[in-house]
Structure 1
């Protein structure tokens, strides 16, 4: 028997759009019908209801977050109150990730990507829907973010104030928005699985060989360019590499045919530009022969004016640059 998913009618948000899409990726609700209404009688007939109804009860498949006293979070490590997206992801997300990865059972990869996807994709939707700012209100942003997030793009599917639509047209727009949000989550999870997760083993190997690169153990060299920042910060925590044991510079080969190497500073946080130890100020903004002369290292290519990254023509040259940068 085909099941029915219920959510509210009218103006929609990204949280219930994603929640509905997530449910359709589960075995229980695959191919389910969708009812958008605020009629309590009709909602009572639905097999599952999200973002409306004033009830959170997994036992009866009711997943609303608007009621007074609701304080549910993803787990004890997160403080963001859940929206319908987070609620549905909390209870069905592992199955969704497992199905996307083609896994028959939950394993370490599924658990890791389940957590990572909440933190990197779903939590922002929970915060946005619940009116939780990303920064304290006494901080003025240095620039305005471009309105291209999935939350904004779902919002744009709603009718504008001066172009009215029928309920049928709005419902059709909701389905488009739900499909779009779901497709982006799919792309995010598969990107983690195919590109982000495999990089972890490269960072592990580089950490194991850190003392071979520099006696300090604070420089690592990756055999291939890959997304390393989050893995490195996580692995440092696991290994107790804090304080004067933390990694300061990461070396890796460019993908260009010339075989050049990069030296990059480890940031204080994965998404930031503040570094643990920037490259020497006296090198910044110089290139090629002039950089080689100033640094004393042959094969210099560039040092970014911001001091967070540079390049050398050889692996050995990059290692020498790191050695000198540690001392300066």
Structure 2
């Protein structure tokens, strides 16, 4: 069910006014512009994104199979991320592929503690409640939209930081001293060298003209 919430939230980025219809009726499915997780067909050009058919709907290079979330993300992920494929790939690695793996039963072992899936599933009414299932579904989709939005923001920040650090290294007069014009996270991860280097990162405060030691790496 977590997969459906996230797929619905992803589609809202592209089709904010879409009408969601939950049905397994073949006639209803036939009339839909986009069909996901039902219908037994994967055809992105026709707007069909199911993965339950015999043979599935393909897998990533690491073997993680695609569920409907991954299939939707494969087609629309870059568009959702302002046409930035690098950010879309980062989201696929950090979120989408994990959800696909869980949905396809590809993950071995049982996760302990409170999971994202458990958290979102708690939006559903309990057996003791007479809740509005459609209303609860919409609430869960809104919550999933917030989560997806934060993943996108985090990935965007990471991609931007990588570019800033790479440019600072390129511009450095002394390759051992890297000057960053503003705070940039994750510097160690973005050093584009295989051999071990020792670099001194410093931040330049443009307001007062002072430099501040950031870290050794």
Give the TM-score, by structure 2 length.
0.78
CA distance in 2, matches of 1:230, 1:118: 22
1:198 aligns with 2:172: no
Contact kept in structure 1, 2:165 and 2:180, CA below 8 Å: yes
Give the conservation status (yes or no) of the 8 Å contact 1:53–1:64: yes
For 1:67 and 1:230, the matched residues in 2 are separated by 44
CA displacement at 1:87 relative to structure 2:
0.9
Give yes or no for the alignment of 1:111 onto 2:111. Answer: no
Aligned match for 1:163, one of 124, 128, 137: 128
- 3-state DSSP of counterpart to 1:263: strand
Distance in 2 (CA, whole Å) between partners of 1:165 and 1:38 is 24
Residue in 2 that maps onto 1:153: 119
Moved more, 87-96 or 77-86: 77-86
- Does the Cα contact within 8 Å between 2:175 and 2:199 map onto a contact in 1? no
Within 5 Å, give how 1:1-80 maps onto structure 2.
13-26=1-14, 29-73=15-59, 77-80=61-64
| 1:1-328 equivalent positions in 2, closer than 5 A | 13-26=1-14, 29-73=15-59, 77-98=61-82, 106=83, 110-133=84-107, 146-149=113-116, 151-160=117-126, 162-165=127-130, 169-193=132-156, 195-208=157-170, 212=174, 214=176, 222=180, 224-229=182-187, 232=190, 236=192, 241-242=193-194, 245-247=195-197, 251-252=201-202, 261-263=213-215
Deviation of 1:69 (Å): 0.8
CA distance in 1, matches of 2:64, 2:188: 21
- The change in CA–CA distance for 1:227 and 1:132 in structure 2 (over 3 A counts) is farther
Distance in structure 1 (CA, Å) of the matches to 2:59 and 2:18: 27
> Contact (CA 8 Å) 1:199, 1:228: kept in 2 or not?
yes
Q: Distance in 1 between matches of 2:11 and 2:86?
A: 20
What TM-score do you get using the length of structure 1 for normalisation? 0.55
Deviation at 1:49?
1.3
- Within 1, Cα distance between the matches of 2:26 and 2:100? 24
Query: Aligned-residue CA RMSD in angstroms?
Result: 3.4
**Equivalent-residue separation in structure 2 for 1:19 and 1:111 (angstroms):** 18
Superposed CA offset, 1:200-223 (max 9, x none): 233114433678364xxxx85645
Aligned residues: 214
Residue 191 of structure 1 and its aligned partner are, at CA, apart by: 4.0
Question: Helix, strand or coil: the match of 2:64?
Answer: coil
**8 Å CA contact 2:50, 2:57 repeated in 1:** no
Q: Distance in 1 between matches of 2:21 and 2:68?
A: 16
Alpha-carbon distance in 2 for matches of 1:148, 1:259:
42
